[in-house]
Structures are given as C-alpha cells and as structure tokens.
Structure 1
Amino acid sequence: MKQSLPDSIVTPDHRDHALLSTIAADITARAGGPEALATQFAAMLRRCVDDVIMTPKTGRRSYEELEKTEKTYIGTRVEIELRAMLRLPRGKLDTVVQGHDVDIKNTMHSNWMIPTEAVDHPCILVAADEVRARCYLGLIVARPDYLTAGQNKDAKKSVSAQGFANILWLLRHHPYPANFWRTVPPEIIPQIFAGASGNQRMAALFRHIQGTPITRDVVEAVAQQQDFMRRIRSDKGRGTRDLLAREGIALLSGHYDAPLIAALGLPHCTGSEFVSYRPVTQEQADLAAVHGVVLDWA
C-alpha cells in the first residue's frame, strides 16, 4: 500500500458520510468493537496469506513466490473469511450490510480494481502490506469520479489519486503480523531446514531464534510432520525440548510456561506460541529449575 495516504474527507458534510458511517458502525459492532475488529482483521489477513503460501507443504516462504492464480485466490479467500468473521450474508455483489449490496475488494499492492458491477455501490477495501507489515480496512462508494479514467482488459478501474481521499478508514497503517520468514536473516533459513528430521529442524529453529515468540504455524512449517506438536515436547530424551535442554536452552510454551516466561522478562506469548531462551546467569538457570525446566547450564 502507498506509504502516504491523504486524510479522509468523509466528514458529516460529505455526500457519502451517512451511508459509509452506517456500514462502518455495523461492521465494528459485528466484530465486537474497534479493538476486536483490529485484532481479528489483522489475524484473518495473515491466515489467508499464509494458508495460500502453504510453507509446510511447499517450502515457499513469501507472497512473491506464489503463482499468479494463487495471488488471485487470496482475494477470494479474504472475501470468504471476512464474511464469516463478521457473519455477513451473501448478496448480489459480495455481501449485504445494513440492506446495501456491498463489494469486497482486496489488494496486496497499492490499489484496488473495481469491477463495473460495483460502480456506484459501497465497497469494503482490504489491503495487506507484506513488506511493512501493515494492514488496511476502508469503505468507499465507488463513484465514477473517484475512479481512474483508464481501465484494464476486464473493464475494471482503480481508485484515483483524488479518490483515495473519499475512503472512510476503519484501519489505516495498522500493524499486521509480519510474515515470520521475512524476520529471519536469510543465511539462517537454510540452516534451519537442513536437518534430516523434524526434531533437528525444530532444534535449529529455536537454537537460532531465541527470545522471540514463534507461532504454532511456524513450528508446523519447520517440522513438516503430521504429529509436529509431539516433536516439541520432552520425549524420553529425544524430543526437541530435550535436545535443547542439553545445550542449556529452555524451550517454553506460552500455555504451560507463562509464569517462567514472565519471570525471565521474555516477550508475552499467547497460548499457541513458543519461545526459547538460554539463561545468562546462574540465577536465571535456578529460576528455570524452580519452574521445572532443568537445563545443562554452566
């Protein structure tokens, strides 16, 4: 998405304000409030993109590696997931909000392509910026004077530079969970995936990336096994947790080890996240032992 976006001019005296503010209020209420909308929306977008990349099955780690048809499918997936998230019905266009037919448009770039059937109708505009880890949710009435004069071969037009000011934003430049693999130094990735077994790959993951919460999806991607969660537990000295403990590294679960994670001053982990850490003092090693995490530490 464009880094510089004009301020919205959709104020009470704007011709689209009444319609768009009504739709915005309904969307926000359906999500459970502004904070819930922001949290659910960002997570939904991340899931839609990652589920198409399919790192566990394909080994691909970024949007840029997708085929053209897969990139197109992300838009369809977002439409389906957004309707489900907000419990919205199907309509003549993509959905119906407060009795109005509404189109849902998604982009991973800097603009949206508006089909002819959506012209003069309200549109829900969705965007994900993979590079800057930001997401966007806006509303616009796709009036002809908000759209470009030119069109593509399918007669679709995009929002004009001036048209952007007529977007009512629900979320703009909002933080969006980064693609995990973009945060990993490129030279580390081959080392993580070089292991011949799931345990070896996961041990490499948590050995190289410490102090950072890692999601269950990433664990699955690295394990490349159906019973990947078994690999992360202690397993008669053979599990990933056992391997790392012998190296003095604690592998902690946000669900089971939250008190120890907090005591060590590590970032908060959700119940489905994991974090590894090598104690740097004897007191930290003793603290881990008190919480039942015994390490070979010196």
Structure 2
Amino acid sequence: MLFDRPLPRRVVCLLSPDVSAAVIIQDQSPSHDDPELTLVHAQLRRLDPVGQRFATVLRDTIDQLLHGEATGRYDWKSLLKTERTHAGTVVEINLQREFAFEDGVEMDYRIADVEVDCKYSQDFGRWMIPPEAVGHLCLLVWADDYKSRWSAGLLRITPELLNGGKNRDMKLTVKAEERRRIVWLWRNAELPENTLLHMDPDDRAAVFAHKSGQAKLNELFRRAQRRRIGRNVVRTVAQQKDYMKRVRGNGGSRSSLRSEGIIIMGDYRAHQEIARQLALPVPQEGEFVSARVIRSIPGDGRPCAVIDGHSWVLAGPGDPVTKAPFLPAHTVSATTEV
C-alpha cells in the first residue's frame, strides 16, 4: 500500500521534464482556523511547488558541513559535535539565501508578512524550540542522509504542545503525540542520494584505494553506474580544486573509461535526453550518470539512444566490452566530444 492512512484533500502526480519519475505530492492545504499558517503554507508551496529547491538546499547544506574537498568525509557521523550543533544555523541561513526570505523581527524569517522561526533536526522530532517561539509559527525541517529522506512542515507553537523537560538553554521539544498537528509541506520526500554513503562498502573501498584523484574518479564512475553522482561526490573523491576537469573528455574520466564502453552523461540537455532514452536516471544540475553501452543490433528490445550517429543500448553483464561513443557537446547540433 502506497499510503498507510487516508490522505487529506488530494494527491497530485507531477511529471517534470527534468526528472525521470513522477513526483507524488500530498496536498495538505491547511483546513484549520489559522490564517497566518495558511498564508505561509501557500507562499512556500508557490515558491517551491515540488520541493526541489528545499531538497537541493538540504543536500548542499549537508555537503557543506562535510566539506569533502578538504576532509574526504562523506558520512554525517564523522562530523564533530560542534559541526552537528551548527547544522541548524547553516540550514536556516541557506534556506533564507535560496528563497530570499525577509529577516524577522522576533523570529528568523518574515514570510508572507508573518514571523516564522526555522528549526532543523537530523533526528525526526528533536526540534529544539526556544521559549520566545511560543505563540509563533515554526518551520520544522528534518533530513536524514542515511534514509535519503526529508520533511518540512509548519506548526503554531503553544505551551501544551511542548514537553515539560527543559535544558540549560530553556529549549523544549514537541510532544510525540502532538506532531500530528504539524501541517506538512512535504513529508518523507526524497533527498538527493549521498552516493558515497550508500555505495557497496567494497566498491567504496576500491575507489579510495587509489592514490591519485583521477584514478579514484575513474573507479567511482566504473563502480557507481546507473545512478546520479553529484558534484560534491566528485569533489570529495578527487580532492582537487580542478575536480570538474577530471570528469571531462580531454584526459578526464570520460576519455579514460571510453575504452571500457562507459559513457558519463552530465547536465547538458543532450546528455539528459540520452539518459531518458536509455531509461536511466536523468542527471540534474551538477550531476553525472555513468553507464556501459553497446551498439544496438536489429531486434534488440532494449531502450536505445542515437549517439554519434549510431544506436546504442545499455550493456548487460554478458555483453562484450566495446569502445564507447563520443557524447555530444552541450548544444544539440554539436558533434564534438565533451
């Protein structure tokens, strides 16, 4: 069963041309007597109808905290305690930058002319509510890199919703039984995957076993095929300032892996169209998808794409290894390698 309880209002299925799958959105238009919450809810959904901007901010914030280019870290657990404590502030700042929220007078933001406080937690339900937020709206945000999920919702904070225990900062948490009052903007939405965190441990070890950044990247694209690989993953593996150059065709992974039949699609429109035609995840901004391909033969029922003047399909384990085609440049009419 897709949902374990009745959904309020309606469910909308959107298919964006820039994503490879339908996005299920739970329409939770507020059905209560809090006009300010209704205004803020409507404004946030107008600014980000499918939650893509929110998801990107959360992905980028986690990556910012990991700082993989300098540290090689990819796991939330490797963060220092002070870094984890600072995460909420970084989320708050990055959301304000993305959406250009006005500064609040008493709370963090002013959205639709309403004061709104922003609270983030890696652990669902562990939002720390300060005494000054009582009576105000809170934007409650959660993201879990291990589950690749995130949520964001609105709640009017009142004393009876909060647990009685107080920490030294006088901050409280929302009672578990009162979380049902949260009006969700997005609930358990998909967080862009942290590829290194979710890779097979043996494959990940093989990537980091190499000494040079270029060899590590080659191994990454060789072992993490048919899945989106974000720019920060490339940065973390390469640990070089010119990390994007290590992917390109002029000496980078694209040219290095061509002899193995592997193509690496980026966020160019022509590359995205090839990914769609091959029924692969479509790389979004700053992402790559690698896959081994082979020339199509008559009667082959697999999804195919025309690349460099010939028809190609995804190669299976039993298919021979042949040299991969050159990918088109960022303009559809170009025929040069990128």
What TM-score do the two structures reach when normalised by structure 2? Answer: 0.76
1:41 paired residue among 54, 58, 67: 54
| 2:152 corresponding residue in structure 1 | 137
Give the match's secondary structure for 2:167. Answer: coil
- How far is the alpha carbon of 1:48 from its aligned partner? 0.7
| 1:193 corresponding residue in structure 2 | 208
- How far is the alpha carbon of 1:225 from its aligned partner? 1.2
Structure 1 residue 275 corresponds to structure 2 residue 289: yes
Structure 1 residue 225 corresponds to structure 2 residue 240: yes
- How far is the alpha carbon of 1:287 from its aligned partner? 5.2
- How far is the alpha carbon of 1:273 from its aligned partner? 2.3
| 1:96 corresponding residue in structure 2 | 110
| Cα distance, 1:11–1:26 mapped onto 2, change above 3 Å | closer
1:28·1:34 contact (CA, 8 Å) conserved in 2? yes
1:56 paired residue among 48, 69, 75: 69
Structure 2 residue runs of 5 or longer lacking an equivalent are: 9-27, 313-321, 325-338
Structure 1 residue 180 corresponds to structure 2 residue 195: yes
Describe how 1:1-298 pairs up with structure 2 within 5 A.
Answer: 12=31, 14=32, 17-29=34-46, 31=47, 33-35=48-50, 38-91=51-104, 92-111=106-125, 112-235=127-250, 238-255=251-268, 256-280=270-294, 283=297, 288-290=307-309, 296=323
- How far is the alpha carbon of 1:201 from its aligned partner? 0.9
Give the match's secondary structure for 1:70. Answer: helix
Bigger strand fraction:
2
Higher deviation after alignment, 94-103 or 78-87: 94-103
1:5·1:164 contact (CA, 8 Å) conserved in 2? no
Higher deviation after alignment, 75-84 or 252-261: 252-261
- How far is the alpha carbon of 1:221 from its aligned partner? 1.7
Q: What amino acid does structure 2 have at the position aligned with 1:165?
A: R
1:137·1:169 contact (CA, 8 Å) conserved in 2? yes
Structure 1 residue runs of 5 or longer lacking an equivalent are: none
Higher deviation after alignment, 269-278 or 172-181: 269-278
- How far is the alpha carbon of 1:27 from its aligned partner? 2.5
| Cα distance, 1:292–1:69 mapped onto 2, change above 3 Å | farther
| Cα distance, 1:58–1:5 mapped onto 2, change above 3 Å | farther
- How far is the alpha carbon of 1:289 from its aligned partner? 4.7
Higher deviation after alignment, 63-72 or 255-264: 255-264
- How far is the alpha carbon of 1:21 from its aligned partner? 1.1
Give the match's secondary structure for 1:148. Answer: coil
Q: What amino acid does structure 2 have at the position aligned with 1:242?
A: S
- The RMSD of aligned alpha carbons is 3.0
1:6·1:165 contact (CA, 8 Å) conserved in 2? no
What is the aligned length? 286
Q: Which has the higher contact order (CA 8 A, sep 6+)?
A: 1
| Cα distance, 1:269–1:144 mapped onto 2, change above 3 Å | same
Give the match's secondary structure for 1:204. Answer: helix
Q: What amino acid does structure 1 have at the position aligned with 2:111?
A: V
Higher deviation after alignment, 146-155 or 214-223: 214-223
Q: Structure 2: how far apart are the matches of 1:199 and 1:267?
A: 24
- How far is the alpha carbon of 1:182 from its aligned partner? 2.5
Deviation by residue 1:41-64 (Cα, 9 ceiling, x = unmatched): 111111111110112211111111
1:260·1:291 contact (CA, 8 Å) conserved in 2? no
Give the match's secondary structure for 1:157. Answer: coil
| Cα distance, 1:222–1:245 mapped onto 2, change above 3 Å | same
Higher deviation after alignment, 163-172 or 265-274: 265-274
- How far is the alpha carbon of 1:82 from its aligned partner? 1.5
- How far is the alpha carbon of 1:159 from its aligned partner? 0.2
Q: What amino acid does structure 1 have at the position aligned with 2:286?
A: S
